[in-house]
Structure 1
Amino acid sequence: MKANFILFFGIITLMFGVQSCGAQNSSIVAEGAELLLVADGYNFTEGPAANRKGDVFFTDQPNDKILKYDVETDSVSVFMEGAGRANGLYFDNDGNLIACADEEYQLIRISSNKNVEVLVDNFEGENLNGPNDLWIAEDGGIYLTDPYYQRPYWDRSSPDLESQNVYYLAPGSNSLTMLANDLVQPNGIIGTPDGKTLYIADIKDKKTYSYTIAEDGGLSNKTLFVEMGSDGMTLDNQGNLYITGDGVTVFNKNGEQIKHIPVNENWTANVTFGGKDGQTLFITAMDALYSLKMDVKGVRW
C-alpha cells in the first residue's frame, strides 16, 4: 500500500511538474507584464529599430521626424528633423541608421552625428516606388521592400515602375538587384540571424512568405508561411515571427499562432525588440509608441 501511494504520488508530482513547465513556456510575455504607453501625440509612428545599447529609434513620417527613446533616461526626444520622410529603419553593423526615405524614393544612411548619405535612389534608372521597410543581414547585405503608396508630398501621381518589388543591395554595391516582382504589395520584411531565411509580407494580398537565402543573397523556395499580411515584422530568439496590423500576432516556426497581443489603436504599424536586455517589445501604433516586457529576447541579443 505504501509503495502504491509513493508511486501514485510520484506520478502526480511528475504530472504537476510537466504542467508547471508548460505553464511557464505557454506565454512569451513576462509574467504580470502589461502594455505600457511610452509616448504619444505624434501623427503616425513607424519603423522602430534598436541600437546595441537598446535605445529605440522610430519615425513620425507625416511630420518628417525620427524620434529616439533613450533607455537610460526613459524618455523620448527628437533625433532628427527633415529625415527624408523616413519610414522603415534598421541599424547596420557600424551603428549607422539605415532609413527608407520615400520623399525622394531613397535608401539613406544616417551616421551617429547625423550625416546623411544616399545609398540608392533608383532601379535601372527608374525612380523607386517608395522604399518602405528593410532588413540587414550579418554580412551587411540589405533587403528592401518597395511598395507604392501615393504620398501627398509627391509631384507624381503614378509609379515609374510596373511592379512593386523586393530588392537586394549587396555589401559595397550602389545598385539594386531585383529579388521578387510577383507580390501585390510587399511591405514588412525580416530575416533570421543565421542569414538563411527571409520573411516577406504581402500586405495587400494578406499573405506572408518565407524564402531561402542563397550565399549570393538571392532568394529561392518561396513558401506561404501564414495567410496574413503585415505592415512591419520582427523575430525573437526562439524563432517566433511577430506580425502587425490588428495588434501584434505571433507565430512559431511552423506558422502556428501562439499569441495575440491586443493594442487599443486602429492600426499597429511595426514592432521591434529593445531595452537594456533586448527583452522589451516596442510597438508603433497610430500616434504612439508602446512597450511590453517579454520572456523572450530580440535576435540581436
Structure 2
Amino acid sequence: MKLVSDGFEFTEGPAADYEGNVYFTDQPNNRILKWSVEDNKVSVFMEDIGRANGLYFDLNGNLFACADEKSELWKIDQNKNVTVLVDEFRGKKLNGPNDLWIDAKGGIYITDPYYERPYRNYDGQPMEEQRVYYLSPDSKELTVATEDLVKPNGTIGTPDGKKLYIADIEADKTWSFDIAENGSLSNKTLFTKMGSDGMTIDNRGNLYLTGNGVTVFNKKGEKILHLPVEKNWTANVTFGGKNNQILFITAMDAVFSLEMKVKGVR
C-alpha cells in the first residue's frame, strides 16, 4: 500500500473517470481534488462544492456529487457548471445525501442518512425516515427505493445492473436488493453482518467494505481478505488508474493506493 497524498482534513467519495483519474473530496475544506493518471500528482479540481461527500461519474463524463451542505444532489459537467438535480422530496429537505450509484440507464440511487452538521442553516432532522431514493434517468422523478434501514450509507451496484448493495452503518449490516427494470428494489437479503461507510466492487463480484481498513467479501458474502489501513477510520474506496486496477482508499487525512490483480468495473 502506498501513500498517494496526505495533509487533508477528512477525505471521502473517491470516484474514477473513464481515463482512470481519481477524484475525491476533502469534505471539511469544501473541495474536490484530482489524482492524475498521467503524472501521479494530486491537484485541486474544484472548490465550494457544497461540502460534497460521495461522488460518481455517469457515462457522459458528468460528475455527480452528494452536496451535504444544503442536502442536495449536484451534477457537475466537464466545464464545471453545476446543476442542482435534487433539493427536496415532497416539500421537505432531505437529511443529507451521502453516497450514490448510477445505473446503466442513468438512474441514480441516493442514500440519505442524517448526521448533525454545524454548517447547515436548518435545525433538526428534516426527514423522519432515513431512506434510499431513486432519481429517474431523465432526472424528473424522485421516488423512495427503500426505507426499512436504520442509517443507509455506502452503496454500489453490480456490473450487470441486477443487484444493489446498501450498507446500513448503524445496524452494522450490509444488504443486497434485486433491481427491477423500472429501478425499483425488491428481495432484501442480508449480505453480511458488517456495516460500511463507502464501498466498491471488482470484476469478480467481490465487495469492498470500509471502516476498520478495507474488508473484502466474495459474492456469497464470505470474508476473503482484510486490508489494514493505519488510520482510525477508512471512509471510502474505489478502483482507478489507467487499467482500472489500482485500489484507492480514502482514510482520515490521507489517500492510499494499492495495485491489485483484480479490476474495478464502471
| 2:2 maps to 1:47 | no
Q: How many residues align?
A: 266
Tell me how far 1:112 sits from its aligned partner.
1.3
Task: Give the AA of the match of 1:98.
Answer: F
Provide the TM-score with structure 2 as the length reference: 0.99
Instruction: Kindly indicate whether residue 111 of structure 2 is the aligned counterpart of residue 145 of structure 1.
Output: yes
| Displacement after TM superposition at 1:297 (Å) | 0.1
Q: Distance in 1 between matches of 2:139 and 2:217?
A: 34
Shift of 1:152: 1.2
Report what 2:180 is aligned to: 214
1:276 alignment partner, one of 239, 242, 250: 242
Corresponding residue number in structure 1 for 2:165: 199
- Residue number in structure 2 paired with 1:179: 145
Would you say 1:111 and 2:81 are equivalent positions? no
Q: Which residue is 1:122 aligned to?
A: 88
Map 1:61-76 to 2 at 5 A.
Answer: 61-76=27-42
* 2:235 matches 1:291: no
2:60 and 2:150 mapped to 1: Cα distance?
Answer: 34
Cα pair 1:247 1:261 within 8 Å, conserved? yes
- Conserved in 2, the CA contact under 8 Å of 1:123 and 1:175? no
Conservation of the 8 A alpha-carbon contact between 1:120 and 1:175: no
CA distance in 1, matches of 2:20, 2:137: 25
> Which residue in the other structure is 1:249 paired with?
215
SS at structure 2 position matched to 1:164? coil
Unaligned runs of 5+ in 2: none
SS in 1 for 2:263: coil
What value does the CA root-mean-square deviation take over the aligned residues?
Answer: 0.6
Percent identical: 67
2:121 corresponds to: 155
> Which has the larger helix fraction?
1
Secondary structure of 1:62's counterpart equals helix
* 2-structure distance, mates of 1:248, 1:101: 25
Contact 1:104 1:121 in 2 (8 A): yes
Q: Deviations over 1:227-260 (max 9, x none)?
A: 0000000000000000000000000010000000
User: How far is 1:143 from its partner?
Assistant: 0.4
TM-aligned CA deviation for residue 57 of structure 1: 0.1
Q: How does 1:7-46 map to 2 (within 5 A)?
A: 35-46=1-12
Question: How high is the TM-score relative to the length of structure 1?
Answer: 0.88
Q: Could you tell me which amino acid in structure 2 is paired with residue 265 of structure 1?
A: K
Q: CA deviation at 1:155?
A: 2.4
Question: Which amino acid letter does the alignment assign opposite residue 192 of structure 1?
Answer: T
Describe the SS at the equivalent of 2:28. helix
